[in-house]
Amino acid sequence: MDAVYHLMDSFLPFDVFRFSFMKNAFLAVLLLTPLLGLLGTMAVNHQMAFFSDALGHSAITGIGLGMILGLRSDLAALLIFGIIWAVLICLIKQSGSASADTIISVFSSTSIAAGLLILSRGGKFAKYSNLLIGDILAVTPEDLLALAIALPLGILLWALMYNQLLLTSVSPSLARSRGIHIRLVEGAFVVLVAVAVMLAIRWVGVLLINALLILPAAAGRNLARSSRQHALFTVLIALFSGILGLILSYYADTSAGASIVLTSAFCYALSLLARRWRK
């Protein structure tokens, strides 16, 4: 990491990046926001804007169950429970027993209640309250290595599923006629989102993860004229929001996650104005 820090000092000779924790946070933003942005485009297209919110809430339950089962790694508990929760949401949604927003709302409220019930025993929830807001400044070099592996793998899987996911969101009947296994494709997508959300939850927080996934994608959709432009604009907005929000949080001494999300919200507001002006 010393070589990376030295390179950053050469290209980013600014006061904000003189500390190693700010360098780590900056690298985490570069690795995390593009993946969340790309996944957000499909979440918006599939009308699953609150899906990541339900997954974020499930993180609290995952930590609680991991503690009960004696799992040493919080990340392992998050990933295992997050994937199980995502698959269950997908299966019930595909059964057609209720609308997607109803199912997601039920899972979201259930998971956060169960997590609070487990973690609040004996008044110990304060120990886990950092899960709610996250702390991207706590990223370690080991975390960056995991993100460096997750980013290319996530983008590769997204690219492989892109056409099938897009066609499924536009016309499920047409997708079936083309031989696309809709349930399998949707299942793979929700698992991918679950992994990305659980990797990010410790730094972004339960309360903000949904906004970070959806806002750049929503803003990109307002500006784009094609699906390719949607992906491109979303990634650019996600990167811009992440970098600017991180810098603003340093100088204003505020939560980095909240600053990043508010920057994304500002970009969304500008995209609405741009869309109206274009029309």
| C-alpha dist (Å) from residue 160 to 45, 81, 166, 181 | 17, 25, 11, 14
Q: What own/partner pairs with CB < 8 Å and gap ≥ 24 does 106-109 have?
A: 107/54, 107/58, 108/50, 108/53, 108/54, 108/57, 109/57
> Amino acid identity of 258?
A
> Which tens digits make up the pLDDT trace of 122-135?
656 666 666 777 77
**Where is average pLDDT lowest: 79-88, 115-124, 162-171?**
115-124
At residue 65, the pLDDT reads: 81
End-to-end CA distance of the chain: 48
Report the chain's mean pLDDT, rounded to a whole number.
82
**58 within 8 A of 158, measured Cβ to Cβ:** no
> What is the predicted pLDDT for the residue at 1?
67
% of the chain with per-residue pLDDT over 70: 93
- As a whole number of angstroms, the distance between CA 215 and CA 233 comes to 12
Nearest to 50 by CA among 149, 197, 161: 197
| Integer CA distances (angstroms), 93 to 75, 89, 145, 161, in order | 26, 6, 35, 20
- CA–CA dist 54, 51 (Å, integer): 5
Q: What is the pLDDT averaged over residues 211-216?
A: 88
Output the pTM of the full model.
0.84
Quick check: 18 pLDDT over 70? yes
Res. 160: pLDDT tops 80? yes
* Model pLDDT, residue 2: 66
Q: What are the distances in angstroms from CA 216 to CA 34, 182, 232?
A: 10, 26, 11
pLDDT of residue 124: 64
Give residue 228's pLDDT. 86
Residue 24 has pLDDT above 80, yes or no: yes
The CATH number that domain 2-278 falls under is 1.10.3470.10
pLDDT in tens, 72-82: 777 788 888 88
Please state the rounded mean pLDDT for residues 2-17: 72
Q: State the pLDDT at residue 256.
A: 84
pLDDT of residue 271: 93
4-13, 25-34, 201-210, 212-221: range with lowest mean pLDDT? 4-13
Return the pLDDT at 125: 62
**Residue with more model confidence, 267 or 115:** 267
Give the single-character DSSP code of 22: H
pLDDT of residue 166: 81
